[in-house]
Structure 1
Amino acid sequence: MKNRTVSRLLRADVVDMGGMPVRQPFPTQQVEQIDPFLLLHHHVHQLPEGVSPRQAGVGPHPHRGFSPVTFVYKGGVHHRDSRGNDSVVYEGGTQWMNAGRGMVHSERPPADIEEHGGVQEIIQLWVNLPKAHKMNQPEYIPLQAEDTPVLVLDGERIKVRVVAGAFKEVLGPIKTPTPVLALRIGMEAGATYAFPIPEHYNAFLYLLDGSLQVEGYGLVDGHHLVLLNQDGEGCTVTARAATRLLLLAGEPLHEPVASHGPFVMNTQTEVLQAMRDFQQGRMGILIED
């Protein structure tokens, strides 16, 4: 297997998102998007004493034109939306929402967050939808850890949860509108593996913690994103310390992107229409009881 070379190493610096500190490796001035991926946020939050989970997290807000995806690493996420979905996804699970023509949702810590350690750690990824699917009916897919296929490799030193796409003939349960490979990987120190990546996909690795030796490049520490060039069949990595990482790859859309806040369309006119539709209640209303 020919290994891909590294295009850039992007540090996930802390940014303020409405009073919520998150690590954001992209978008940055260096890299606006990694087509079809628009944004990645890594958030760790300790629920303060005396604060109800119903008052924490992110309250009702709209989306249109892309797929907000949440990978839950600690605690859980309570999702409600204007289509009537009401679900809690816990540690090891993933929630995938194809916003399509638009809906309003909220993401809060679950009511039993204290029973799960009181800490919420998530990664949110925005995956663009092609023009042909931007106005589809919205879809919400909750995937619990126990429903996610797990492959054990390298003498049980590597565990790979297949969320979407195909890996070693295992298909992820999430069926995406366009081809996406999403792998949640845990590696013990000393573990090594050559991960295949479809040659025409854009791809990156994001390290939540630990450190990896990326063959042909060097050592990478946690809170960094490794953007790979589209010049090989995969990526070989060796864990120098216990590491949690995401491998994301997707077929690029090669379409214009026009965005404003929670709306991602192809033209500014479509963005203005999304804003009007939300204001007029056409994406539904979410009242949290």
Structure 2
Amino acid sequence: MKKKTSFSTKGQRADIGDMIIYRILANRYADAVGPFVFLDHIAPKIQHAINTGGTGPHPHRGIATLSYIINGEDEHFDSAGNHAKVHSGGVQWMKAGNGIIHDETLNYDSKTDSKLTHAFQFWINLPAKIKAEKPEYLAIEGKDVPRKTLNGQSGWIKVIAGDYEDLRSPIPNYSGQFLYHIHLEAGAAFSIDIADKTEVAAFLPTQAATLNDAVFEAGEFVEFDRNAGEIEISNSLQEAVDVILFGGEPYTEPIIAEGPFVMNSHLEIADAYRDFHAGKYGKIIYPGNEAP
């Protein structure tokens, strides 16, 4: 049986500098989908000049950030001393744990001739016991993201987080979670069975698609009911389409979100701000600015 749609909505503009950003989650209907509590869509754009400003250094606590770069080159710095770049198709994952400061800069991919940039940032809520752990970091290049060609060369699926059949992402799972990028050629279809009580949503970044016999527009976020059932994605266009499908088991602990922090109580939010202002999250040391 096919799953029913709970609601659909579009994001609100939340631009940073020259980046055109749509805030998809949280929205007026949902605060979370499984462990995912935040999604920004950095819309496709032809970038003519190098971005030197980035997002600027800012703190996080209680979550893991996940940046998925469809097109471009993303550079990461953090106060734990991590620094890396990933290119088109790559992922930056950072467990903020008990507190960290990071900075990311998205530019066009220096390894290709394309000036196109296009990306997503997710926040993954951590279980309370993991929120107290030290930060961790992974940089995963596109070639290392698990990928499988669909039957009949009708498209492919990438497993950004979680697992699918024999594919497993290197990103740690602290609860049931999945994040897939599904690419369907013209006229193709793909279906997936979702277990009972699983929270799941789809996002259509650039093209319309048919989800369980209903047509949704580009830019729509679609959440489904929590009953066991099938999600069928169909492409009736004359070009390929992309769908981001994500979710997982419900987060059962309290969710208190304020600014860059997601904790389990208002007291923990106050502690997060106090520790940040006390300098306990450290400081980013950018290359060339190291102490002698």
Common fold: TM-score over 0.5: yes
Shifted more, 153-162 versus 105-114: the winner is 105-114
**What is the identity percentage for the equivalent residue pairs of Structure 1 and Structure 2?**
29
2: CA distance between counterparts of 1:190 and 1:48? 34
2:256 counterpart of 1:262:
no
- Residue 232 of structure 1: how far off its partner (Å): 2.1
Please list, as runs of the form range in 1=range in 2, the aligned pairs for 1:1-289 lying within 5 A after superposition: 2-17=1-16, 20-44=19-43, 45-49=45-49, 52-55=50-53, 57-109=54-106, 113=110, 115=112, 117-216=114-213, 218-241=214-237, 242-289=240-287
Q: Is the 8 A contact 2:56 2:103 kept in 1?
A: yes
Change (3 A) 1:160 1:111: closer
Please tell me whether the aligned partners of residues 41 and 125 of structure 1 are also in contact (alpha carbons under 8 angstroms). Answer: yes
The structural deviation recorded for 1:46 is 4.2
- Structure 1: give runs of 5+ residues left out of the alignment: none
Alpha-carbon distance in 2 for matches of 1:196, 1:136: 34
59-68 vs 167-176, which deviates more?
Answer: 167-176
- The SS at the match of 1:210 is coil
Tell me, yes or no, if the aligned pair for 2:176 and 2:248 is still in contact at 8 Å: yes
Greater shift, 72-81 or 196-205, is seen at: 196-205
Q: Secondary structure at the match of 1:31?
A: coil
Instruction: Give, in whole Å, the separation in 2 of the partners of 1:179 and 1:252.
Output: 8
SS at match of 1:53: coil
Give distance in 1, aligned partners of 2:14 and 2:71.
21
User: Is 1:53–1:113's contact at 8 Å kept on the other side of the alignment?
Assistant: no
Aligned residues: 284
**Gapped runs of 5+ residues in structure 2?**
288-292
One-letter code of the match for 1:66? I
Task: Decide whether the 8 Å contact of 1:164 with 1:173 is kept in 2.
Answer: yes
Measured in 2, the distance between the counterparts of 1:3 and 1:264 equals: 33
Find the aligned partners of 1:149 and 1:114 in 2 and give their Cα distance. 21
Structure 1 residue 110, shift from structure 2 partner: 5.1
Shift of the 111–215 alpha-carbon distance from structure 1 to 2, 3 Å rule, reads closer
How far residue 117 of structure 1 moved from its aligned partner, in angstroms, is 2.6
Give the match's secondary structure for 2:187. coil
Shift of 1:59: 1.3
Task: Give the ranges of 4+ consecutive aligned residues of structure 1 lying more than 4 Å apart after TM superposition.
Answer: 17-20, 110-116
Alpha-carbon contact 1:100-1:135 (below 8 Å) kept: yes
Q: Deviations over 1:43-76 (max 9, x none)?
A: 1354453xx4332x21111100011111101111
Q: Structure 1's 112 and 37: CA in aligned 2 closer, same or farther, altered over 3 A?
A: closer
* Structure 1 residue 21, shift from structure 2 partner: 3.4
Residue range with higher mean Cα deviation, 21-30 or 228-237: 21-30
Query: Could you tell me whether the CA contact under 8 Å between 2:71 and 2:88 is conserved in 1?
Result: yes
